[in-house]
């Protein structure tokens, strides 16, 4: 009965309705490689990586006003946290994963950082973070926010990627300099 109403009001064929039902993300399916699979893959990856960042920041960062009261172990963790961030350009995901997993079980030094800090840019929140934790922590947070999505999707700005080496695919510079960029080995031998 409901199907008949849908067919009449939407003016869709039954085949078109079945295709639309495949887009329903609420339906549980045993095996699917459609949009639900990719949506779930991306959201779970984002949730896991964001949780690692929240845990790492809250167990490593020390507020400016409390650093003089911190234990030597807490100060060491904070310095290690900053050192990883200073030297990690180009390998953010590996550095973040290693550092976050190493922090499992460490006590929290703050509860300031939340998932929203890494998923959305809020100027008021950033100002508060900079005032409480200093510019270096704020800079690390901004870089981690920028890297989070790029690392999950495996993308980087094209101009920052390393130049190809030993590739059989012609680069724009080699294609422009040689009119025939195909090598003679790709052609069939002449009799």
Rg (CA), the chain: 26
Give the C-alpha separation, 19 to 179, whole Å. 47
- Among 50-59, 86-95, 100-109, 111-120, the least confident range: 86-95
Cβ atoms of residues 21 and 13 within 8 Å? no
pLDDT above 90 as % of the chain: 36
Give the C-alpha separation, 168 to 50, whole Å. 38
Average of pLDDT values for 40-58? 90
Mean pLDDT score across all residues of the chain: 76
pLDDT digits (tens, 9 = 90+) for 117-153: 999 999 999 999 999 999 999 999 999 998 888 887 7
Angle at 68 between CA 57 and CA 60, to 5 degrees: 15
Cβ atoms of residues 164 and 171 within 8 Å? yes
User: In this model, does residue 78 exceed pLDDT 80?
Assistant: yes
User: In this model, does residue 33 exceed pLDDT 70?
Assistant: no
| Residue 84 banded pLDDT, cuts 50, 70, 90 | confident
Tell me which DSSP letter residue 104 carries: T
What is the tally of helices (H) and strands (E) in the chain?
9, 0
Among the residues of 87-122, which ranges form H helices? 92-102, 115-119
For the chain, the domains span: 47-156
Maximum mean pLDDT: which of 24-33, 90-99, 149-158:
149-158
How confident is the model at residue 42, as a pLDDT? Answer: 86
- What pTM value is reported for the model? 0.62
């Amino acid at each position: 009965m409901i199907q008949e109403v849908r067919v009449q009001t939407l003016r869709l064929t039954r085949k078109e309705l079945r295709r639309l039902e495949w887009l329903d993300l609420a339906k549980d399916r045993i095996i699917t490689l459609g949009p639900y699979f990719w949506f779930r893959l991306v959201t779970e990856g984002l949730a896991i990586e964001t949780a690692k960042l929240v845990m790492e920041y809250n167990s490593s960062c020390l507020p400016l006003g409390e650093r003089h009261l911190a234990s030597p172990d807490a100060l060491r963790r904070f310095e290690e946290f900053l050192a990883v961030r200073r030297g990690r350009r180009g390998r953010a995901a590996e550095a973040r994963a290693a550092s976050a997993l190493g922090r499992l079980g460490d006590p929290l030094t703050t509860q300031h950082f939340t998932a929203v800090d890494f998923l959305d840019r809020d100027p008021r929140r950033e100002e508060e973070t900079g005032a409480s934790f200093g510019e270096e922590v704020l800079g690390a947070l901004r870089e981690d926010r920028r890297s989070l999505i790029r690392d999950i999707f495996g993308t980087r700005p094209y101009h920052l990627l390393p130049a190809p080496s030993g590739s059989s695919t012609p680069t724009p510079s080699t294609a422009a300099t040689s009119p025939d960029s195909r090598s003679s080995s790709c052609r069939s031998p002449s009799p």
